[in-house]
């Protein structure tokens, strides 16, 4: 037997042994996953017939006043930046239309600024019933900018040492940050002779103001033309956001029932899942809920891989929640 033939036979034997071992491991994983008590809940929501109606922004109607200016600057190629706040502050992709052309909006970090902002923090100083009215000011008597800051700082103070939730998007550095100079200039609490205590929610709160250093990103808006027709922008958004496309006519009655209930209160199934659920998950390309260690991989961050699915002639957002039963 030649050395080449021997090596080939040896490699073939190793491959067979490896595949057998892997197959045995796979079987054990499947059996383990099948024994894990877990429940899957499937929801469809946010139905829309056309994508552009939901995802193409009319910047003249947005609440953020810098959006329109940023969009115009990006389209015209003029210099424009925003600091700390993104020019198009949304949680997902943004498209906009101008004179028949559709643009994909984004931003690029082009620098950083070191700035100083006042930070308002509150600490409890007693009850309103026990305090002299001349020693505090009512929250409602303050300028609007201070009223908002007091509410935010109050939520931060209330959470200290407690297990309750905190709106961290508003609460920063344990209080409320006055990031806008004009707003800070309208404040009474920030003045050198400002109130030392404020009343809110039947409590007296001691006012603490510190001026602290922040490092803020500088953003440049970007607008890339992607389409010049409604059909074109629909295709662009579909390619970006839509994953599975499912025709109800190709489904069994049991599979259609899964989608019907998902569009209502939600469809729930226990693992190992019924055949109809397995088939639906395959059509949705959600293999992590079928193969391998389902209870470990099913809730991974990469799933769902797309934001939407198409069912019939409509688009839906969807959610798959996998929960394990608590051990007794």
Which is more confidently placed, 229 or 18? 229
| Dist CA 133 CA 310 (whole Å) | 62
Where are the domains positioned within the chain? 55-110+217-238, 114-214
Share of the chain above pLDDT 70, in %: 81
Three-state secondary structure call for residue 245 = strand
Contact 289, 40 (CB under 8 A): yes
The values of phi and psi at residue 87, to 5°, are -65, -30
| Dist CA 263 CA 316 (whole Å) | 9
Give the pairing of strands 176-177 and 203-227.
unpaired
55, 111, 314 from 50: Cα distances, Å: 9, 38, 7
The tokens describing 143, both together, are 């300028």
pLDDT digits (tens, 9 = 90+) for 153-202: 999 999 887 867 788 889 999 999 999 999 999 999 999 999 999 999 99
| Dist CA 1 CA 204 (whole Å) | 94
| Dist CA 166 CA 164 (whole Å) | 7
Going through 171-313 in order, the beta strands assigned E by DSSP cover 176-177, 197-200, 203-227, 242-246, 267-270, 308-311
21, 39, 215, 266, 281 from 326: Cα distances, Å: 32, 11, 44, 22, 25
From first CA to last CA, the distance across the chain in angstroms is 62
pLDDT digits (tens, 9 = 90+) for 285-322: 998 888 877 777 776 544 444 579 999 999 999 999 88
| Dist CA 38 CA 320 (whole Å) | 13
83, 179, 196 from 187: Cα distances, Å: 22, 12, 13
The values of phi and psi at residue 91, to 5°, are -85, -10
Contact 176, 155 (CB under 8 A): no
State the pLDDT at residue 280.
Answer: 97
Contact 244, 285 (CB under 8 A): yes
By C-alpha distance, which of 260, 267, 232 is closest to 246?
Answer: 260
State the pLDDT at residue 6.
Answer: 38
Give the other-Cβ count within 10 Å of 96's Cβ.
23
Contact 297, 309 (CB under 8 A): no
| Upper half-sphere CA count for residue 167 (Cβ side, 13 Å) | 7
State the pLDDT at residue 69.
Answer: 87
The tokens describing 37, both together, are 């008590």
Q: How confident is the model at residue 90 (pLDDT cuts 50, 70, 90)?
A: confident
Three-state secondary structure call for residue 167 = coil
């Amino acid at each position: 037997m030649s050395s080449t033939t021997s090596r080939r036979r040896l490699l073939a034997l190793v491959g067979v042994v490896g595949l057998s071992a892997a197959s045995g491991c796979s079987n054990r994983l499947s059996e383990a996953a099948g024994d894990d008590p877990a429940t899957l809940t499937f929801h469809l929501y946010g139905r829309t017939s056309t994508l552009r109606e939901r995802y193409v922004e009319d910047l003249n109607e947005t609440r953020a006043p810098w959006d329109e200016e940023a969009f115009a600057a990006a389209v015209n190629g003029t210099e424009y930046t925003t600091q700390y706040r993104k020019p198009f502050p949304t949680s997902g992709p943004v498209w906009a239309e101008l004179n028949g052309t559709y643009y994909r909006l984004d931003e690029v970090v082009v620098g950083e600024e070191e700035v100083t902002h006042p930070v308002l923090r509150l600490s409890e100083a007693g009850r309103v019933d026990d305090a002299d009215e001349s020693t505090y000011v009512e929250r409602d008597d303050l300028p609007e900018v201070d009223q908002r800051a007091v509410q935010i700082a109050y939520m931060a103070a209330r959470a200290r040492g407690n297990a309750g939730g905190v709106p961290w998007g508003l609460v920063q550095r344990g209080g409320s940050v006055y990031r806008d100079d004009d707003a800070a200039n309208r404040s009474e609490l920030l003045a050198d002779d400002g109130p030392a205590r404020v009343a809110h929610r039947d409590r007296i709160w001691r006012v603490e103001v510190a001026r602290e250093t922040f490092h803020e990103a500088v953003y440049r808006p970007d607008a890339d033309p992607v389409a010049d027709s409604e059909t074109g922008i629909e295709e662009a958004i579909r390619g970006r956001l839509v994953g599975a496309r499912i025709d109800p006519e190709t489904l069994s009655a049991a599979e259609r029932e899964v989608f019907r209930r998902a569009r209502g209160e939600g469809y729930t199934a226990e693992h190992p899942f019924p055949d109809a659920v397995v088939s639906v998950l395959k059509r949705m390309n959600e293999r992590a809920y079928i193969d391998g260690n389902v209870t470990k991989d099913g809730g991974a961050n990469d799933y769902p891989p797309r934001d939407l699915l198409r069912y019939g002639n409509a688009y839906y957002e969807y959610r798959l929640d996998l929960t394990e039963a608590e051990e007794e």
